[in-house]
Amino acid sequence: MATILKHAVPKSEVAASLDQVRETVTGVIADIRERGDEAVRAYSEKFDKWSPDSFRLSDAEVEKIVASVPQQVIDDIRFVQDQVRTFARHQLDSLREFEVETLPGVRLGQKHIPVQAAGAYIPGGRYPLTASAHMTIVTAKVAGVPRVVACTPPIHGEIPAATVAAMHLAGADEIWLLGGVQAVAAMAVGTDTMRPVNLIAGPGNAYVAEAKRQLFGEIGIDLFAGPTEILVLADEQADPFVCAVDLLSQAEHGPDSPAVLITTSREVAEQTIAEVERLLPGMPTRDFAGPAWRDHGQVHVVDTLDELYALADEFAFEHVEVLTAEPRLALERMTQYGALFLGEGTCVSFGDKVIGTNHVLPTRGASRYTGGLWVGKYLKTVTYQEVTDTDSQTLLGRLCGRAARVELFEGHARSGDVRAAKAAGDELPWNTA
């Protein structure tokens, strides 16, 4: 049995706060469908106080902005993008195209085709998430996407130079200073100045996430996203100070970001809570991290590691950090998570910023059915078929006729009949002409 030392607010309160978000997003999308660029400009002025002659940056503007970024920042961006690119290329190499002959003259094949246009949303607001440019744009380009449209909002009326540099170095074909629902809707439905894309990827606030959710089906999306989540798993040897620092590292994403500790040690649990309370007042991001911990922080104490892993799978969180004596056991015991971070030397922040795996990950329990953004998300795995042997054509034609008539699909059956007739001279009693 788990003992809960710290509870989160009821889920009903979280659900209620999303109703207004849905209503607002629905209205913005409908308006942009009707008025296009005029509506996009109106919402950009309203939400971001931003209304330039063109939201899309020219090549000359991009070059000027990149030149203003300190060289150390450029070098760091290049290094991290190399890590992301390397991992994405290994993912791509793991995908195999093939063609097999299943019967004489029957060839079945599989190939991977990149989507032809992808949108990358890179959040701004309080935090310019430069790393999201690496995750969305670099991965799309490794997949072979020919056109990547990248959008990021201005920050307090200023151009986020480092983010623009990251977008450019990642290989974005179009860079737009445009944020929020208006950016997502413009990429999805298109306007007079922006051609629509086929898929949109990237994190964002509740409004961005809801816009992607409402537009899914009309376009593809990477996944349904919610607030950043961290789950720390600890045994008695874990350092409570490290547990506390890492919980707060993700709580600072926003006031609705869950930060949860599950441990087999009551002492580690109590000391972690004490460390969080000690560290919070001095955090520059305490106005986000504080409410997140207060309302969405949880601490559970369990008796055994088996209980720890079982409870962790119930949470099915985005980030799971394993601070136990044998962290790699989590690879065997757990099945529901976005990404694992194994051992004290590996923090979630590495995955967010520098290590090379993708930080666009499933939240709100979505890891029960999907992993995070990866190179395969930008690829359409398609099949093809070819029958050239007359004996196989006869076999399949007759079989198709019988199988289709069992299901009362006479039209399907006749297509099979015709192939058998062409190959073996079978009669077509239904053809009275």
Return the closest-CA partner of residue 300 out of 263, 246, 245.
Answer: 263
C-alpha 393/C-alpha 382 separation (Å) is 23
| Burial per residue of 2-15, b for 16 or more beta-carbon CB atoms within 10 angstroms, e otherwise | eeebbebeeeeebe
Query: Which two structure tokens, joined as six digits, stand for 123?
Result: 């959040």
The set of catalytic residues is 318-319
| Other beta carbons within 10 Å of 114 | 19
Single-letter amino acid code for the residue at 278:
R
Name every residue whose Cβ is closer than 8 Å to that of residue 379 and which is 6 or more positions away in sequence: 95, 112, 113, 114, 115, 143, 144
Alpha helices, DSSP H only, in 144-225?
Answer: 161-170, 180-189, 206-215
Instruction: Return phi, psi of residue 90, to 5°.
Output: -65, -40
Q: Give the DSSP per-residue string, 9-33.
A: PPHHHHHHHHHHHHHHHHHHHHHHH
With b for 16 or more beta-carbon neighbours within 10 A and e for fewer, the 44-68 pattern comes to: beebbebeeeebbbeeebbeebbee
Residues 6 or more apart from 357 whose CB is under 8 A from it?
Answer: 87, 339, 351
Q: How far apart are CA 190 and CA 405, in angstroms?
A: 45
Checking 67-74 for CB contacts under 8 A at 24+ apart, the result is 68/161, 69/161, 69/162, 69/165, 73/162, 73/165, 74/165, 74/169
Which residue, 199, 115, 130, is CA-closest to 160?
130
Instruction: Count CB neighbours of 220 within 10 A.
Output: 20
In sequence order, what are the residues at sequence separation of 6 or more whose Cβ sits closer than 8 angstroms to the Cβ of residue 130?
77, 122, 160, 162, 163, 166
